[in-house]
Amino acid sequence: MQLDLPRFYKACNPSRVLTVGKPEDQKYYIDFSPVRGSNIIRELERTITLLAPEEATCQLFTGHIGCGKSTELMCLKNNLEQQGFHVVYFESSQDLDMADIDITDILLAIARQVSASLEEIDIRLKPGYFTNLFTDESDLLQPI
């Protein structure tokens, strides 16, 4: 059997995010929760679904480059959408200059993506919604 090198590279490319909802990507997904000691996606999902919509959550999900963060987040997105949640997923590197970034840039990118995503499903926000939100958030994030 000869190795199909382009196909092998495509399957192993660490910059490619697997979308577990797609059958062609499912065959490449490996569940590493036994190695990690827990199923972090199930834990994040449980926190979100148990508290929503009464209470917002804020959770930090980190890891080394290429370790599967985006793939796991796509699994979370897929699970939440199957339960009727509207999920806004975007890659920050597409909207932000990673060499020169501050909190305002991050908040504006999030606002732009949320607004665009809601407009796609015909939900219109009240004028000034993000202005009020940013005022509250900037007060919260100011150093003491």
How far is 26 from 22, CA to CA, in rounded Å?
A: 6
pLDDT tens, residue by residue, 91-134: 888 888 888 888 888 888 888 888 889 889 988 777 776 666 66
Q: Are residues 13 and 64 in the same domain?
A: yes
Q: Are residues 81 and 96 in the same domain?
A: no
The pLDDT score that the predictor gives to residue 18 is 83
Domain count, the chain: 2
Q: Output phi, psi for 130, to 5 deg.
A: -70, -30
Q: Are residues 59 and 101 in the same domain?
A: no
Element of type H or E holding 16: none
0.75 exceeded by the pTM? no
- Segments forming the whole domain that contains residue 41: 1-87
